[in-house]
Amino acid sequence: MATQMTAAPGRITFQQVAIALQTASLFFQAATAGLLLSSSHGELLHGVGARVMYGASMLYVLAAVLAWRPGGGSPRPILYASGFLVLASVQVVLGIARVPSVHVPLGVLMFGLSVLDLGRVLSTRLPERSGRRA
């Protein structure tokens, strides 16, 4: 019989840190994409940010697997994390090929999905409130 383990209320988990890092790196990518238009340093920053974002996506897959395996929870977060990694791979290919007509909207979609997933991860870890008021 598998028992499901959850994080203690108020504790930050590896999965929360990984998805927060992914979301922050996607936001950084949006900011540096704007710099591409106005600065010569924009391309360098966007390239470095792409590597960080890709690494953060891989870290999120690892965190999802580690959160699932010992606790016996749902494997659904692994599907979400793997989906992000696939989208990140497509983004890298589109960026190298310089196809901004698909690269930019896909980046916006990825940021939105990452924010939603961050909200999901944070909301499932919050302690439950009692029905009584003080």
Residue 121: its H or E element? helix 100-125
Chain centre to alpha carbon of residue 50: 13
Going by the DSSP 8-state scheme, the letter that residue 90 receives in this structure is H
Read off the pLDDT of residues 3-42 as tens digits, 9 standing for 90 and up.
445 555 668 889 999 999 999 999 999 999 989 888 888 8
Chain segment 50-103, per-residue pLDDT in tens: 999 999 999 999 999 988 877 677 889 899 999 999 999 999 999 999 999 999
